[in-house]
Structure formats: structure tokens, C-alpha cells
Structure 1
């Protein structure tokens, strides 16, 4: 099945410790090129994410953005009792030495470094949830690439059918081309008031027919079309193979154009080039 390299997905996950928001975006690229934007507390997940991408994708520029929002940030506070007791003991010593020294109020005590501690979230649980969210988002991204790939394959098959029609048209024109060459040669001889022996005339016509013979090019075009169709049904990445086949199809179309001796075959060669270029543009997005 053909997969596109273009897709986007966004997923979120909520829990008691807060919420995670993840976006994955992929566009066409010659190789696999991942980019990550992760919170500092989850930065060590990047190697895991990178390896997961490497196992499941072959090509594309993939951007991953992960955002973490802590639940009740600034509210979950605890008192460090040992620190507070040490501070109280120190204040008693100060009062014993300086009875008139003003004592801090409760709010000032809470503001002292180390007395109030924010409850630390369960970082391991958050990391596990982030990995699961990333894998779910990657599943969704790959499904999107598959849907887009199916549309691209349909467009390419339409162009392949068009190439088949042009090849059939040129094949049907071959007898007419040969007869026209014979007539044109005889007209030129008549204009020059020249006369060739029948054997010489047939030899000249055979030489012209050989120069204009495009059977081999048409056969190769049909072979390449069949191979493109086969690749569209293959499992795994096929973009590079399809890109190579577009080069081969274009080569045969150019040869057909260079051998053209009548306007009809020139028109068919031009139409072939248009169809091949349309396929090539679509194939740039195929994994």
C-alpha cells in the first residue's frame, strides 16, 4: 500500500498529575528527518521517540511537539517539618540573646527557603503516559499517510491509463506513418523530376521506416507502466523506485518525440511528457 509523507495529528491525555498535548506533523523529505520540541522534564524521552519513528517510518520530515501542563500548579504545597523545627529553634536562640528582637509572623516563616515544598508529580508516570501518547499519535499519523497515499495511487493510476491510451494511439498510427512517408518521398521525387528504381525506392522507404520505428520505445513504455502499477501494490516504501521509473518513462517519451515524423506522434509524445510530469509531482510525496 502506498503511503504519503504528508499528514498531521494532534492528541491529548489528562490525568491526576495534569495533561499532555502532542502534535505530529510530517511532510515530504528524501530521508527520515525527525525534529522534537519537548519540555525539559521530558527531554530524555527523545531517544525513545526517535527510535520508534525509525522503526515505523522510512522517509519524511517529522516534527513532534509535546507540551505538559501540571495539575494544580502552585497549590499542592507541603510543610517541611524538620526545616520548620530547626527554624523555630534558631529563633528561640535569637530571642534568648536579643529579647527585644522582632519575631517573624507565620507568613514570613512560610516564605523562608526550604520550609514550604511543592509536591513533586510522579515523573515516571508522566513519562509512561507520554510514550503511550506518542505511539497513539504515530498510529494516527500513519493512518493519515495511508489515506493520503491511497488518493495519490488513484491519481497515478489515472495517468497510467492515459499513457496506455497514448501508446495505443501511436501504435495505430504506424501504418499510416509509413504510407505517408512513401507518398512524401514520391512527391519530392516528382517535384525534382527524378525517378528511382523500384528497389531503390523501397530501400529509401525502409530506411525512413527504420528511423521512425518506435515499436521498441512503445514496448518499453508499456513495460514501465506495468512496473509502476506493480509497485503501487507493494508493501513498504516505494517512493524511490517510482521516482526512478518516472525517469525511465520520460526517457522513452523523449526518444519517441525525437523520432516523430508526423504531427500526431509529436502531439502524443507531448501528452506523454505531461502525464509523466504530473505523476512525478505526486510521487514526490510518496514514502
Structure 2
């Protein structure tokens, strides 16, 4: 399965017998698969099969699927209500001399409510089944077209997200290689800070100061955060190339990226590292925003 976006549009139309039908499908972002069907009266029985078709092809997205159905003009047939006709004739006979004994005219019979009804011929079961089958096939075609559009959008997202991951990796390497993280730089900075604090304060325990400084340096070390960021970069690339729906997993990974960048910014004791950490947070935010569009 190719990477898919959750946004798209598709239309499918055709005819069956004297009917013309048209499907319109619209897809937007959603936490799961939510298919909202609008079917003309009388076609409700198709809903279960249509939902199964959608579930086999899509895993996430809010899908609105509307079906329009129209019938071409058909010849009408006249249906005589025999019971009503018999009742009219019986009434005329019972009234006898009270009414004219002339035969009832055709116009008079037509004016009697319910005596004659003009309606379209009823369709047979075979014709209905053929129509429903064609409409279902049209839905399959519309779903396939929607997938194609979502996959095209997914290809664009793949390029964008890959660029964000490359930038995250680049910034992680910048942070890792920053001179402020080198042992001699850390040692020189701590020595200067200890000298500044202890200057003129002979009562301070220099050994205790050195121990506290080492502890602070350990807490400020970024090795674990850098290693985790590098691991997340590898995981993100594997997910993008897996060919399965990965939107939720990448969203979780974006949260992990953000957590590490926050920790780096809070631990940083160098302006260059802080600047790279802030830029890292910006890129991660852009990455997560795009991930929201993935299936």
C-alpha cells in the first residue's frame, strides 16, 4: 500500500436501464474511518456492502459519499381499481329511476377519485438487482479514484516529511558537534565558574564545589537526548518507507521528537546549542503539522 493523504475528491457516474446515477466522495482528516453515506430512499439495503468496500480500501479519514439517482421519462400505465368500478356500477343500478339511465361516460369514470390511477410500470426484481449492482460498481470505481488522489497527495507529503527528517538529523548533528560539548571546553568553563564562585571565599570547600560542578555537568549532558533523536530519525524513515498507513505512529514519534528538543533547550548551557534546539522545535512542529494529513 502506498502512503496516502487523508484529503481527496472523486466522482463516478453512469447509467443502468432508465436510471442515471452519480457518486461524489469527499475525504478530509479524521482520527479513524468515518463514512457518512447519503443514499436515495429505497437504496438503504446497499449501505452494509458499501461500508465494507470502503473499509477494505481506506483506514482513516472522514468520508462523505453522496449518491444522486434520476430516472428518465417512462410510459405511464392506467390501472383500474376494479372494486371501485363495481361499487360505482352497483350504486347506479341501486338508484334506479333516481338517476339517468344513460350509460356512464368515460369522462365521468375518470372523474371518480381512485377509480383510475396512472403510474409508472413496476420494475421487476432483475432490473432492480442490475441497477443496484451497477451503482455498487460505481462506488468501487469512485473509491479507487479517491485512493489514487490520496496517494498522489501522499507522495507529495512523503517528500515534505523526508525533508523535515533530514533537517532534524542535520540539527541533531550540529548540536552533537558543538564545541561547548567537548570535554576540554566543559572543563575550562567549570574551572572558570568555580574560580569565580570561590574567589575571596576561603570558607568554601573546593572539593565540594568540584563535586557539585561535576554533578551539574552530568545533568547537563545531552548524550541521551542526541542518541534518542538519532534513533527517532531512523524509525521515522523506516515508517515512511513501510508502505502501510503510518499517520498515527508518526504523530506519536513527533511527540517524542518534541520531548527531546524541549529537554535539549532546558539543559543547554551554550547559545549555539540553544539556537539549534529552538530551530529543531520549529522543524518538528512543521513535521507534526504535515503528519496530521497522513492516513
Question: Is the shorter-chain TM-score for this pair beyond 0.5, marking a shared fold?
Answer: yes
Instruction: Please indicate the TM-score interval, normalised by the length of the shorter structure.
Output: 0.7 to 0.9
- For residues 236 and 115 of structure 2, the distance between their equivalents in structure 1, rounded to whole angstroms, comes to 70
SS in 1 for 2:244: coil
CA shift for structure 1 position 264? 0.8
CA shift for structure 1 position 114? 4.4
The equivalent of 2:257 in structure 1 is: 249
What are the superposed Cα offsets for residues 222-262 of structure 1, whole Å, 9 maximum, x if unpaired?
A: 11111011001113221111111112111211221121001
What are the superposed Cα offsets for residues 137-173 of structure 1, whole Å, 9 maximum, x if unpaired?
A: 0001111111111111111111101111101111111
SS in 1 for 2:119: strand
The equivalent of 2:42 in structure 1 is: 41
SS in 2 for 1:225: helix
- For residues 110 and 147 of structure 1, the distance between their equivalents in structure 2, rounded to whole angstroms, comes to 64
The equivalent of 1:124 in structure 2 is: 129
SS in 2 for 1:19: strand
Pick from 124, 133, 139 the counterpart of residue 144 of structure 2. Answer: 139
- For residues 132 and 259 of structure 1, the distance between their equivalents in structure 2, rounded to whole angstroms, comes to 60
Kindly tell me the number of residue pairs found equivalent between the two proteins: 283
CA shift for structure 1 position 87? 7.5
Q: 1:16, 1:71 within 8 Å by CA — same for their partners in 2?
A: no
CA shift for structure 1 position 19? 0.7
The equivalent of 2:163 in structure 1 is: 158
Q: Which stretch of structure 1 is more off in the superposition, 110-119 or 61-70?
A: 110-119
What are the superposed Cα offsets for residues 123-144 of structure 1, whole Å, 9 maximum, x if unpaired?
A: 2221111100000000011111
SS in 1 for 2:238: helix
Q: Which stretch of structure 1 is more off in the superposition, 106-115 or 271-280?
A: 106-115
- For residues 286 and 136 of structure 2, the distance between their equivalents in structure 1, rounded to whole angstroms, comes to 40
SS in 2 for 1:8: strand
SS in 2 for 1:10: strand
How has the CA–CA distance of structure 1 residues 275 and 44 changed in structure 2, closer, same or farther, with 3 Å as cutoff? same
The equivalent of 1:282 in structure 2 is: 290
The equivalent of 1:14 in structure 2 is: 15
- For residues 7 and 86 of structure 1, the distance between their equivalents in structure 2, rounded to whole angstroms, comes to 57
- For residues 256 and 22 of structure 1, the distance between their equivalents in structure 2, rounded to whole angstroms, comes to 52
Structure 2: any 5+ residue segments left out of the alignment? Answer: none
Structural RMSD (CA):
3.2
1:266 aligns with 2:267: no
SS in 1 for 2:64: strand
- For residues 91 and 244 of structure 2, the distance between their equivalents in structure 1, rounded to whole angstroms, comes to 76
The equivalent of 1:78 in structure 2 is: 77
- For residues 248 and 84 of structure 1, the distance between their equivalents in structure 2, rounded to whole angstroms, comes to 76
The equivalent of 1:217 in structure 2 is: 225
- For residues 118 and 112 of structure 2, the distance between their equivalents in structure 1, rounded to whole angstroms, comes to 6
Q: 1:181, 1:208 within 8 Å by CA — same for their partners in 2?
A: no
TM-score between the two structures when normalised by the length of structure 1: 0.85
- For residues 125 and 18 of structure 1, the distance between their equivalents in structure 2, rounded to whole angstroms, comes to 11
Q: 1:37, 1:66 within 8 Å by CA — same for their partners in 2?
A: yes
What are the superposed Cα offsets for residues 178-202 of structure 1, whole Å, 9 maximum, x if unpaired?
A: 4444444444415725799998897
Pick from 162, 176, 190 the counterpart of residue 171 of structure 1. Answer: 176
TM-score between the two structures when normalised by the length of structure 2: 0.83
SS in 2 for 1:79: strand
